[in-house]
């Protein structure tokens, strides 16, 4: 019988307060990671672009791009080759930049040397890479909050929150539209995400997607899957303008002979979904589209994103990664 852990899932209507640096989903926790990720399409050419930036997840108060998992890429229709970087400076070693924060009441801004992230009444605005990367959009889902409390086998509590945005913008001068997710982790003060139970014990697969039907209706969702032997499937689905939180999603992945993820099937509240993947953004990131939804026609547009490490992310490997940040964290 798969091992199960106690967890809670809730949804909240997004407000500007959710993006203030002082917001937390519960007492006695602080930000332990924030990620801004987008996969967007040029409708004219069908080309896909990928951008991902992390903050507070290795060194609190610092943002970064990590090669090869983060940065800015022009995706290729293959699972077997690393996609080219859009900007050469992000192709070298990881660099960290200090964050600044400004709150004027109706506008929040996280700044760093190579860009900024803003929230206001119009939504989210992500400017990066000296103006060569720009995304603007509004949240289309509720904010989903997952809480794994301290319990036998879990030595510190962790919260994770996720939301979906439909965005428009530009990637290296090309006009694009697509899917952006904004997610955060929270843990006891001084912790970083890779020290918590989700990446060390509970994560086998992370899934995020957004789709749009021909009539303009937007749907999507997010969920986790546990590694072999661990039952872990919290998340949510957006359908008909309503966000429904979930605790027990079970997905069936399909891999090719090379061990690459090529499809994902799952059922939520009696509705079956099938994703097909034909692009890789890094050794652990797969991208594709919604190939079928049982109750409706295939969406006119869709963006599916899965993180699957295939055993490359263990507690021992994460500890080795974290060693290099100990002095910067005052340890």
Residue 19 lies in a domain: no
Neighbours of 316 (CB within 10 A): 8
Query: Is 292's pLDDT higher than 50?
Result: yes
Residue 45 lies in a domain: yes
Greatest pairwise CA separation for the chain in angstroms:
54
**What confidence tens digit (pLDDT) does each residue in 123-172 have?**
999 998 888 999 999 999 999 999 999 999 999 999 999 999 999 999 99
Residue 53 lies in a domain: yes
> Does a cis peptide bond (omega within 30 degrees of 0) precede residue 3?
no
35 SS3 class:
strand
Q: Is the dihedral of CA 312, 317, 318, 321 positive or negative?
A: negative
For a pLDDT cut of 70, what percent of the chain falls above it?
Answer: 99
Q: What is the pLDDT of residue 68?
A: 77
Q: What is the pLDDT of residue 215?
A: 97
Paired tokens of 69: 């998992």
Q: Which residues are within 8 A (CB) of 85 and not within 5 positions of it... i.e. 6 or more apart? A: 67, 71, 72, 73, 91
For a pLDDT cut of 90, what percent of the chain falls above it?
Answer: 86
Q: What is the pLDDT of residue 252?
A: 97
**Angle at the Cα of 218 (from 214 to 220), degrees rounded to 5?**
125
**What confidence tens digit (pLDDT) does each residue in 94-103 have?**
789 999 999 9
**What confidence tens digit (pLDDT) does each residue in 189-212 have?**
999 999 999 999 999 999 999 999
Question: Is-contact 259 309, C-beta < 8 A?
Answer: no
Task: Please give the mean pLDDT across all residues of the chain.
Answer: 94
Query: Is 67's pLDDT higher than 80?
Result: no
Q: What is the pLDDT of residue 92?
A: 80
Q: Using CA atoms, how far apart are residues 291 and 299, in angstroms rounded to an integer?
A: 8
Question: Is-contact 130 114, C-beta < 8 A?
Answer: yes
Residue 2 lies in a domain: no
Q: Which domain holds residue 137?
A: 7-12+28-323
Q: What is the pLDDT of residue 19?
A: 98
User: How many structural domains are present in the chain?
Assistant: 1
**What confidence tens digit (pLDDT) does each residue in 322-331 have?**
999 999 998 8
Cite the DSSP H helix spans in the chain: 197, 315-323
Q: Using CA atoms, how far apart are residues 145 and 133, in angstroms rounded to an integer?
A: 28
Residue 230 lies in a domain: yes
Q: What is the pLDDT of residue 94?
A: 79
Residue 136 lies in a domain: yes
Residue 328 lies in a domain: no
Q: Using CA atoms, how far apart are residues 150 and 157, in angstroms rounded to an integer?
A: 4
Reported confidence tier of residue 2, pLDDT bands at 50, 70, 90: low
Which whole number is the average pLDDT over 63-78?
Answer: 89
Residue 130 lies in a domain: yes
Q: Using CA atoms, how far apart are residues 258 and 276, in angstroms rounded to an integer?
A: 16
Question: Is-contact 258 249, C-beta < 8 A?
Answer: no
pTM comes to 0.96
Buried b (16+ CB within 10 A) or exposed e, 11-24: beebeeebbeeeee
Reported confidence tier of residue 1, pLDDT bands at 50, 70, 90: very low
Q: Using CA atoms, how far apart are residues 1 and 68, in angstroms rounded to an integer?
A: 36
Q: Using CA atoms, how far apart are residues 274 and 239, in angstroms rounded to an integer?
A: 16
Q: Using CA atoms, how far apart are residues 329 and 331, in angstroms rounded to an integer?
A: 6
Calculated CA dihedral for residues 45, 48, 53, 57, nearest 10 degrees: 170
**What confidence tens digit (pLDDT) does each residue in 233-285 have?**
999 999 999 999 999 999 999 999 999 999 999 999 899 999 999 999 988 99
């Amino acid at each position: 019988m798969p091992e199960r852990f106690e967890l809670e899932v809730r949804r909240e209507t997004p407000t500007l307060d959710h993006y203030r640096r002082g917001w937390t989903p519960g007492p006695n926790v602080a930000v332990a990671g924030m990620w801004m990720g987008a996969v967007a399409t040029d409708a004219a050419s069908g080309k896909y672009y990928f951008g991902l930036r992390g903050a507070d997840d290795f060194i609190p108060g610092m943002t970064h791009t990590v090669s090869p998992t983060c940065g800015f890429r022009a995706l290729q229709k293959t699972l077997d080759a690393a996609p080219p970087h859009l900007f050469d400076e992000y192709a070298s070693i990881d660099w960290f930049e200090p964050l600044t924060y400004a709150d004027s009441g109706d506008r929040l801004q996280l700044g760093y040397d190579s860009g900024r992230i803003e929230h206001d009444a119009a939504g989210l605005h992500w400017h990066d890479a000296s103006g060569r990367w720009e995304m603007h959009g509004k949240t289309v889902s509720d904010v989903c909050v997952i809480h794994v409390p301290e319990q036998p086998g879990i030595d510190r509590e962790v919260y994770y929150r996720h939301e979906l945005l439909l965005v428009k913008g530009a990637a290296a001068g090309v006009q694009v539209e697509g899917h952006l997710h904004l997610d955060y982790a929270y843990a006891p003060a001084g912790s970083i995400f890779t020290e918590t139970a989700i990446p060390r014990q509970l994560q086998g697969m992370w899934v995020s997607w957004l789709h749009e039907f021909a009539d303009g209706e937007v749907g999507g969702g997010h969920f986790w899957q546990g590694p072999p032997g661990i039952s872990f499937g919290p998340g949510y689905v957006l359908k008909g303008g309503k966000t429904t939180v979930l605790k027990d999603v079970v997905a069936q992945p399909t891999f090719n002979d090379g061990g690459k993820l090529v499809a994902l099937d799952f059922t939520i509240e009696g509705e079956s979904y099938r994703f097909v993947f034909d692009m890789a953004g890094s050794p652990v990131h797969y991208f594709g589209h919604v190939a079928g939804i049982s109750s409706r026609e295939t969406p006119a547009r869709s963006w599916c994103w899965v993180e699957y490490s295939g055993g490359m992310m263990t507690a021992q490997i994460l500890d080795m990664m974290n060693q290099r940040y100990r002095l910067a964290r005052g340890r």
